[in-house]
Chain A
C-alpha cells in the first residue's frame, strides 16, 4: 500500500511538471503581448515598454522559464501581471468557490442520476424508463448556457424565489449547481442503468435469487455494489470535469470560480495566473483520480493496491 502511495506521488510530481512546462510554453507560443493588453486601450507606447521590462518579458524565454521554475520550487507562484496580486491569493478564493460548486453539483447529479438510473434498470423498457432516458438525453444535450438562462428567468425574474447568481448565501449555490448537476446527472443515470441491467443478468444474481435472498438484498448487496465501479469512475471524472470546465456555469451565474479566472487570464495573456490555474486543476484532477482508485478497493475487495 505504501509503495502504491509513493508511486502515485512520484507520478503526480511528473504530471505537474509536465503541465507547468506545457502551460508555460503553449501560452507563450500563442501570439499576443501581455504588456499591451494590460496597459489598456489608449496607453502610451512608453507604458507598454516599461511594462514589458517590469514583467521580465524582454528576457530570453529560457531565462523566464528557469526563473519561473526556481520560484515555483520555493512555493512562489509569482504575481498576476494584471492585478499585481500574488497568484496564490488570486487562486485561493476562486478555488474554494469552484470546489463548492463542483461538490454541490456532483452530489446533486449523483443522487439524481443514480436514483433515475436505478429505478429505470429495475423496470427496463417501461414507459417510465423511456421517459427518464429521454430526459437524460435532453440533459446531456441541453447547453448549460441555455438551461442556466431559462432557470434564471423562471426562478429569479418571474418567481423571484432564488437569486439570479453571485455568491453570498447558501441560496446562491442552488441554481448553478442544479444547472451544472443536471447535465452531469444524465451521464450518471445512463451509466447506472446499463451497468445495473448488466449485473442483474449475471450468474451470481441468479444464484442469489435461487438461494432465496430477499430482492432488496439481491439488488443492494450484490447487483448494485458491482454495478457501482464504472459509475464511481464516471462520477470521479465528472467531478474533475466540473472543477476545470465549469466555465459556462460560472459565467452565466456570475460565480467567481477557477474556470472563469482561467479563461479571463488566457484572453488577458496573464501567464502566471494561467500557469497557476493549470497546476491547481491538474493537481485536483490527479487527486480525484487517486480517491476513485481507493474507492474501487472499498467497493470490490478483490482490487488491492500493492
Chain B
C-alpha cells in the first residue's frame, strides 16, 4: 500500500516535470520550405519526405543511427546469391482509409514505381526485376543483379507504402491526398502556408502521443526563431548559427545540433590543366586548413572531412585525410612545375549551403598562401548547375548527401567514370580501379562490401579529385516541453514518437 502510494506520487512528479509520456496536444513545426508533393514515389524534396514519414511506414525503417530496422516487414531473408529478398509482413494492419495492408499492397506500390515514370523511379527500376505477393503476408523481390545497398533503398522515403485504393482513386492527384499506415493521418494542406496531420488512434504500434502536428512554412530564418521564442511554434528548423547562443541562453528551449551526411567539397576538373596533375590536387588539399574553416567560418557547425563519405554514411572509412601543411603544398606545386603557383577560377553558390560563399573566400585566401591565385565567382544555383554540365569548370564548391544513407550513392554517381558531367561526376574523375571497386561494391554484401568501399576511399583520397572540406551539421531548436524528438542524419526531424510534457 505504501509502495503503491509512493509509486503514484513518483509518477505524478514525473508527469509534472514532463518525464513520463503524456497523450494529447498539438505541435507546431516552423520550417523554411513547403512540401512539394506528398507522394513518396513522386517526390524528391526533404519537406515532403519528412511529412510522409509521419503518415506512412516502409517495410524497413532507419533509426537515428541509420540502422535498418524491421517496420511493416517483421523479418526478411536474402537468398545466397543476393538476388531474392523475401519479406514477412506485419499482419492485421489497415491503411487510414480502411484498405487492408498486405503483400498485394506492397507489390502494387513497387510495381507502380518501377513501371511508371515517377520522380523516384530511378531509385528502384534499375535494380528490381519483379515484386510478387506469394501469399497474404509474404512478398518477394527479385533483383536484376545482387545489390548491396538494396535495404537502404527500401528504408528511403520513396519506399514508404501508401494505400493502393487511395492511389487508384486519386490518380494524378495522389500527391495531394496521402494515405498510409503511419501514426498520423493527413488532414489538410494549404500550399505555401501549412500542412496538418492528426493522430491515427488505431496505429498498429499503439496511438501516438500527440493529437496533431502542424507544419508551418516560415521562409525567413529569423522569423522562425521568433516563432519559437514567442511560443507559437514548438520546433524551428535550420537555425542560423548566429542565433544559437541566444537560443541556448533561453531556458525554455533546446538546441539540437546533429551531424548530417552532407560532405562539402571543392571539386577540381581532373581533365584540365593544371588540375590533371595529381600533385596539384594534393597540394590544394594540403593548403586548406579544414579545422580553421570548421571553427571560424562555420562556428563549429561542421567537422573536417577526410573522405568523400560522411562518417555516418554506410561504408565510411576514416582515411585520415590531408592535414594542413602549406609547406608540403608548395613542394608539391614546385614538383608539378608550378613553383610560382597559377591562376584558377573557383565557382561557388551563395546561400545554398551554410556559409558556402564565406568558405570559398577563406579557401581563396588559404590558396593564395601557397601561390594559387583563385578568382571566386558566385553563381545563382540554377545557373551554377548548368555551368557544371558544360565541363568547363576549374574549381567548384559543392555538397552532396546520399538520401539512401549508403556509400554507393556517393561513390557511384560522383566518382565513377561512367557518370561524368552532365551526370554528377563534375570533377571528371576517372580511375579504372575505383570503377571496378564501385561495381563490385554494388554486388557484394556486408563486411566484404565494406572492405571494397574502404579500398575505394583510400584510392580516392590519394587521387584527390576534390579538396575534401567538411561534413555539415544541422541545427534545429525546440521547446523543452516537447520530448523525444528524433533526428535522422538524412536531414529529417521526426516528432512521430514525441510527446508534450
B383 and A93: CB pair below 8 A? no
- Using a CB-CB cutoff of 8 Å, which residues 24-42 of chain A contact chain B? 30-34, 36-42
Asked if B45 CB lies within 8 Å of chain A CBs, one says yes
**A42-B401 CB under 8 A given contacts A251-B220, A260-B219:** yes
CB of A40 to closest CB in B, whole Å: 3
B481 interfacial contact with A, CB 8 Å = no
Name A149's closest neighbour in chain B (CB-CB).
B222
Whether the Cβ atoms of B401 and A41 lie closer than 8 Å is: yes
Q: How far is the CA of A149 from the CA of B193 in the complex (A)?
A: 19
User: Is A31 a contact of B382 with CB atoms below 8 Å?
Assistant: yes
Q: How far is the CA of A157 from the CA of B422 in the complex (A)?
A: 48
Query: How far is the CB of B153 from the nearest CB of chain A, in Å?
Result: 12
A256 and B193 in contact (CB under 8 A), knowing A31-B386, A84-B172, A164-B232?
A: yes
Q: Which residues of A contact B175 (CB under 8 A)?
A: 83-84
Nearest-CB residue, chain A, relative to B399: A41
> Are B381 and A37 closer than 8 Å at their CB atoms?
yes
Stretch of A44-52, A231-239, A291-299 that contacts chain B: A44-52
Which chain A residues lie closer than 8 Å to B36 at the CB level?
82-83
Closest to A252 in B: B220
- Asked whether A163 and B232 contact (CB < 8 A) given A37-B382, A44-B123, the answer is yes
**Contact bitstring A46-86, B, C-beta under 8 A = 1, else 0:** 11001100100000000000000000000000000011110
- Once bound together, how far apart are the Cα atoms of A125 and B484, in whole Å? 64
Which residues of A214-255 are within 8 A (CB) of B?
251-254
- B25 at interface, CB cutoff 8 A: no
Partner of A33, one of B176, B380, B386: B386
Interface size on A, residues (CB 8 A): 48
Residue of A36, A93, A156, A157 touching B190 (CB-CB under 8 A)? A93
Contact of A254 among B126, B190, B219 (CB under 8 A): B219
Q: Does A204 contact B (CB under 8 A)?
A: no
Q: Are B220 and A254 touching (Cβ within 8 A)?
A: yes
* Pairwise interchain contact B219-A43, C-beta atoms closer than 8 A: no
Cα A37 to Cα B176 with chains together (Å): 21
Q: Which residues from chain B contact A47 at a C-beta distance below 8 Å?
A: 44, 119-122
Which residues of A have CB within 8 Å of B216? 166, 254
How far apart sit A51 and B42, CA to CA, in the bound complex (Å)?
A: 11
Q: How far is A203 from B339 in the complex, measured between Cα atoms in Å? A: 84
The residues in A between 246 and 305 inclusive whose CB is less than 8 angstroms from any CB of B are 251-254, 256, 260-261, 267-269
Given the interface pairs A156-B226, A260-B192, A261-B192, the reply to whether A83 lies near B37 with Cβ below 8 Å is yes
B229 within 8 A of A: yes
Distance between B23 CB and nearest chain A CB, rounded to angstroms: 26
As a 0/1 sequence over residues 147 to 164 of chain A, the CB contacts with chain B under 8 angstroms (1 = contact) are 001001100110010011
Tell me whether A32 and B386 are in contact (CB under 8 A).
yes
Q: How far does the Cβ of A93 sit from chain B's closest Cβ, in whole Å?
A: 7
Chain A residues closer than 8 Å to B190, beta-carbon distance? 93, 256
Known: A38-B44, A44-B122, A267-B382. A157 touches B217 (CB 8 A): no
Say whether B37 contacts A42, CB under 8 Å.
Answer: no
Q: Are A254 and B223 in contact (CB under 8 A)?
A: yes
Is residue B91 within 8 Å, beta carbon to beta carbon, of the partner chain?
A: no
Interchain CA distance A256-B192 in the complex, whole Å: 5
* Residue A129 is within 8 A (CB to CB) of chain B in the complex: no
Which residue in B122, B219, B382 is a CB contact (below 8 Å) of A46?
A: B122
List of A residues within 8 angstroms of B176 by Cβ:
85
Chain B proximity mask over A164-176: 1 for CB below 8 Å, otherwise 0: 1111000000000
- Asked whether B217 lies within 8 Å of A254 as measured between CB atoms, the reply is yes
Residues of B within 8 A of A153 (CB): 226
- Report B165-181 CB contacts with A as 1/0, cut-off 8 Å: 00000001001100000
- Find chain B residues with CB under 8 A from A30 CB: 382-383
Q: CB-CB < 8 A to A269: which residues of B?
A: 382
Of chain B, the residue at the smallest CB distance from A160 is: B230
Cβ-defined contact, A251 with B219, below 8 A: yes
Q: What is the CB-to-nearest-CB distance from A257 to chain B, in angstroms, rounded to a whole number?
A: 8
Q: How many angstroms between the C-alpha atoms of A287 and B44 in the bound complex?
A: 39
Q: How far is the CB of A113 from chain B (nearest CB, A)?
A: 27
B272 interface contact, C-beta 8 A: no
Residue from the set B45, B121, B223, B380 with the largest chain A CB neighbour count within 10 Å:
B223
Indicate with 1 or 0, residue by residue over B326-345, a CB within 8 angstroms of chain A CB atoms. 00000000000000000000
Among A54, A164, A256, A267, the one with the most B-chain Cβ atoms within 10 Å of its Cβ is A164
Is the Cβ of A157 less than 8 Å from the Cβ of B229?
yes
Determine whether the beta carbon of B386 is less than 8 Å from that of A36: yes
Partner of B387, one of A31, A54, A256: A31
How far apart are the CA atoms of A51 and B120 in the complex, in Å? 11
Tell me which residues across on chain A come within 8 A of B232, comparing CB atoms.
156, 163-164, 166
Q: Is residue B218 within 8 Å, beta carbon to beta carbon, of the partner chain? A: yes
Q: Is B191 interfacial (CB 8 A cutoff)?
A: yes
Given contacts A32-B383, A267-B382, A269-B382, contact A84 B37 (CB under 8 A): yes
User: A94: which B residues are within 8 A, CB to CB?
Assistant: 191-192
Can you name 25 A-B pairs with beta carbons within 8 Å? Answer: A30-B382, A30-B383, A33-B382, A38-B44, A38-B119, A40-B45, A42-B403, A42-B424, A43-B44, A45-B423, A47-B122, A84-B175, A85-B191, A149-B223, A152-B223, A156-B230, A164-B226, A166-B193, A253-B223, A254-B218, A256-B191, A256-B193, A261-B192, A267-B380, A268-B382
Given contacts A40-B45, A46-B126, 17 further A-B contacts (CB under 8 A): A30-B382, A33-B382, A38-B119, A40-B119, A41-B401, A42-B400, A42-B424, A45-B413, A85-B176, A93-B190, A94-B192, A153-B226, A163-B232, A164-B227, A252-B223, A253-B223, A267-B382
- A residues contacting B by CB (< 8 A) are 30-34, 36-47, 50-51, 54, 82-85, 90, 93-94, 149, 152-153, 156-157, 160, 163-167, 251-254, 256, 260-261, 267-269
